[in-house]
Structure 1
Amino acid sequence: MSHAEQAPLKFAYWVPNVSGGLVTSTIEQRTDWGYDYNRKLAQLAEANGFEYALSQVRYIASYGAAYQHESTSFSLALLLATERLKVIAAVHPGLWQPGVLAKLISTADHLSGGRAAVNVVSGWFKDEFTKLGEPWLEHDERYRRTEEFIRVLREIWTSDHAEFRGDFYRLHDFDLKPKPVEVPGRPHPEIFQGGNSTAARRNGGRVSDWYFSNGKDYDGFAEQVQEVNGHAADAGRLGQVRFGLNGFLIARDSEREARETLHEIIAKADAVAVEGFRGAVQQAGSSTSDKRGMWADSSFDDLVQYNDGFRTQLIGTPEQIADRAIEYKRRGADLLLLGFLHYHEEVEYFGRHVLPIIREKEAELDARELSTSSTR
Structure 2
Amino acid sequence: MRNVVTVNDNTVKSNPIRDSANKLKLSIFGVNGTGASFTHHPDRFSGDWDAIARLAKRADQLGIEGFVSASRWRAFGGDGHYSGDFMETFTWAGAIAAITERISIISTLPISLLNPAFVAKAEATVDIISNGRAGMNLVCGWFPPEFDLFGVEMQEHNDRYGYADEWMEVFDRLWSADSSFDLKNAHFDVKNALSQPRPLQSRPVLLNAGGSPRGRQFAAQHAEVAFTIPDDPDPRAVKARVAEYREEARQKFGKEIQIWLSAYVVQKDTTAEAEAYAQDYIVTQGDDIAVADLIEANIPNAKTMPPEKMAEMSYEFKAGYGGYPLVGSASDIAHRMSELSEAGVDGLMLVWLDYENGLEKFASEVLPRLEEAGLRAPATPV
TM-score range (shorter-chain normalised) is 0.7 to 0.9
1:325 counterpart = 2:337? yes
CA pair 62-227 structure 1, distance change in 2 beyond 3 A: same
Q: Name the residue aligned to 2:258.
A: 242
List aligned pairs for 1:123-272, cutoff 5 A. Answer: 123-161=141-179, 164-171=183-190, 174-182=193-201, 187-214=202-229, 217=233, 218-239=235-256, 241-267=257-283, 268-272=285-289
Q: What is the count of residue pairs matched by the alignment?
A: 345
> Are the counterparts in 2 of residues 244 and 334 from structure 1 also a CA contact under 8 Å?
yes
Please name the residue that 1:301 is paired with.
315
**Partner deviation per Cα, 1:322-348 (whole Å, 9 max, x = no partner):** 111122122222111000111111111
**TM-score relative to the length of structure 2:** 0.83
Runs of 5+ unmatched residues, structure 1: 365-376
CA distance in 1, matches of 2:122, 2:171: 11
User: What is the one-letter code of the residue matched to 1:143?
Assistant: Y
SS in structure 1 at match of 2:300: helix
d(CA) in 1 for partners of 2:299 and 2:359?
A: 31
Q: Which runs of 4+ in 1 moved over 6 A?
A: none
Q: State the partner residue of 1:283.
A: 300
Residue identity in the other structure for 1:155: R
User: Is 1:35 aligned with 2:55?
Assistant: no
- RMSD across aligned C-alpha pairs, in angstroms? 2.6
Fraction of identical pairs, as percent = 24
Letter in 1 for 2:141: G
| Residues 72, 84 of structure 2: 8 Å contact kept | no
* Alignment-mate amino acid for residue 261 of structure 1: Y
Superposition pairs for residues 69-80 of structure 1, below 5 Å? 69-80=87-98
Please list every run of 5 or more consecutive structure 2 residues that lacks an aligned counterpart in the other structure.
1-19, 377-382
State the shift of 1:220 in Å.
Answer: 4.7
**How far apart are the structure 1 equivalents of 2:229 and 2:92?**
23
Are the aligned partners of 1:155 and 1:163 in contact in 2 as well (CA < 8 Å)?
A: no
The 1:307–1:150 alpha-carbon spacing in structure 2 relative to 1, beyond 3 Å, is: farther
TM-score, normalised on structure 1? 0.84
Of 326, 330, 339, which aligns to 1:314? 326
Residue aligned with 1:314, SS: strand
After superposition, the Cα gap between the structure-2 partners of 1:149 and 1:307, relative to the gap in structure 1 and judged at 3 Å, is farther
Which stretch shows the higher mean deviation, 147-156 or 91-100? 147-156
> Are the structure 2 counterparts of residues 132 and 172 from structure 1 closer, same or farther at C-alpha, using a change threshold of 3 Å?
closer
Are 2:89 and 2:107, in contact at CA under 8 Å, matched by a contact in 1? yes
Any conservation in 2 of the 1:259–1:315 contact (CA below 8 Å)? Answer: yes
Could you say what secondary structure the match of 1:305 adopts?
Answer: helix
After superposition, the Cα gap between the structure-2 partners of 1:124 and 1:224, relative to the gap in structure 1 and judged at 3 Å, is: farther
